[in-house]
Structure 1
Amino acid sequence: MSELKHIKEFEFYYDLGSDRSYSKVAEHFKKSITTVKKWGSSENWGDEVSLRNKQQLEENRRQSLLNRRKTVNQYQNILNSSLNTYIDKLKNKEIEVKTVKDLDRLIRLSIFLDGYVYEAETALYNELKEEIENRNSKEQQEIKITFDILGGAE
């Protein structure tokens, strides 16, 4: 990845989002379209946009997982409070056990929520692990190609 020399221009280009074009950058900064195209090409603006979009997507996934975890934790706290109240009332004989249906529902819901968070975390972990493995595989291939070009082991 090339170093960005025209940072303001690139940031403007990036912020255009789906309306992104070199002509809009040229117009905004009062430069020729040819000049802006040279900047974009030499500084790999397209690759930089892709990288930033990928990073934003990963950040959005992480934030989504954190939000889901927070929501599930709130539900679990409510469930735990309900279970504790239910158990206390049972101990104090304020309620009689005619059926364990309500208690069973609370316990099942708690177990379901635990599994929901676990599945979401496991899916994210597996995605990140696969991405790391793919990067390592590509790096190993590049090293092998370089090694072969240099004549291999002698």
Structure 2
Amino acid sequence: MIMSNDKSKKLVQLHVNGKTHDATIRSADTLLHTLREQLGLTAAKPACENGDCGACTVIIDGQPMHSCLSLTIETVHQSITTNEGLLDSPLQQAFVDNWAIQCGYCTSGFITNCHALVEQHPDADAALIDEWLASNLCRCTGYQEIKDAVKSVLRMKKDQTSPL
């Protein structure tokens, strides 16, 4: 639904984390800023704001996307998941258990990206994990702990689906 009284702004409804939210946007507003400034969802972080670092990663219709490169108006009829919507995701606990967190600034982007990876590729191998992690940067640590976290969740999912 899009309505407008002011020609430069539009009232839109966004589907974020399973709920419908109203936002008043300009056509040039990025999803990153709409999520943070209007919806109060601050897990997606502003960092490079040109799609290089992945700190702003969200899932749009099942695909990890950099919200700093996504215009809000383009996501009106799509399903958006932020890290706040992944509270029950085993990835969050796996990051803690595997010490895959340093300063934490990039962590929500990694968790969101890794959640999409695990959902789309439950049989992901090391090469595919490396490929997916290439879209996110961490300046504090190596990526081994993050890879270990992803692998632990993949093993857990495999154990849950394996016949006894």
TM-score range, shorter chain: under 0.3
Using the size of structure 1 for normalisation, the TM-score is: 0.22
User: Which has the greater radius of gyration?
Assistant: 1
Using the size of structure 2 for normalisation, the TM-score is: 0.21
Of Structure 1 and Structure 2, which has the larger fraction of its residues in strand?
2
Of Structure 1 and Structure 2, which has the larger fraction of its residues in helix?
1
Bigger relative contact order (CA 8 A; separation at least 6): 2
